[in-house]
Structure 1
Amino acid sequence: MNSAQRHEAAAREIRTRKRVTDLLARAEREELAAVWETLSERPVAISVRGPETGLVMVRGRIGGGGAMFNLGEVTVTRATIRLASGIIGHAQALGTDKDRARLAAIFDALWQEPATQDFVEQAILSPIAERIESADQQKAKETAATRVDFFTMVRGEDK
């Protein structure tokens, strides 16, 4: 494998990992807890860090692409766990729900395990992605219903 292929493989792995952590960060506690309850053998997860809650500064850009500015702080809870196999899972989520962050970290670690990756994809990640897509479509539909098209009319005396 040459350098360009290694670079592309690393970039693909980063995109995949980002997708997993993004979806777990947007998971509802009920979604995670429901799947956790269905597990016949629950993995032993040792806390490495947290769960702990803190504040993160949110930044914005003027006009979406201009100068950066501090918008304000949001509450975030994070957790890091280690499975008995040694795999480490991380999670961050808006809010103060420590159980949600811990469960997300456990499922992150389980996704990294080859034996349980497909289960996590099908039981958790796919339903979350579908829920988010459905909500986005609904929001787009509601927004489109309020759209107004403006046009300029030429009056007779302006000719």
Structure 2
Amino acid sequence: MTDFSHINEQGRAKMVDITNKAITSRTAIARSSIIVSYEVYTKIIDRKIGKGDVLSVAQVAGIMAAKQTSNIIPMCHPLPLSGVNIHYDWNVMNDNYELIITVEAKTKGSTGVEMEALTAASVTALTVYDMCKAVDKGMVIGRTYLVEKTGGKSGTYRREE
């Protein structure tokens, strides 16, 4: 059972010991999306959703989620984040209104920030859903994935799209 990094010699969960890992600058970029109706799209753009400015609130929620990742993902180490940035792009094609959410998280530490970026992207999408569900409950949260990560022993990873 010890071939797995998060399993101890008794076959039970453990947090990986990163004591001897090098402190390096690390970044991670993650992406998620949410498909909304035309009505939701226009209300978001025009800032006419009753709960407030959807994209601003979702951005703050995503940043807060990145900071709390170790509290909700059991084996994540708490990290001193040096930056979290969330960027939005609309992909509008044939009555399909997709909000693309891109998160970049940064730290200087002994372990990566992939989970923080992924958590932030997910919670940002969930917050958009929460703020707009009174208008349309049919929204669909899309794929959430790691785009890129840098730093650490394993080096750079870039997703082939």
TM-score by length of 1: 0.26
Give the structure with the larger helix fraction: 1
TM-score by length of 2: 0.26
Give the structure with the larger strand fraction: 2
Larger Rg: 1
- Structure scoring higher RCO (CA < 8 A, sep ≥ 6) equals 2
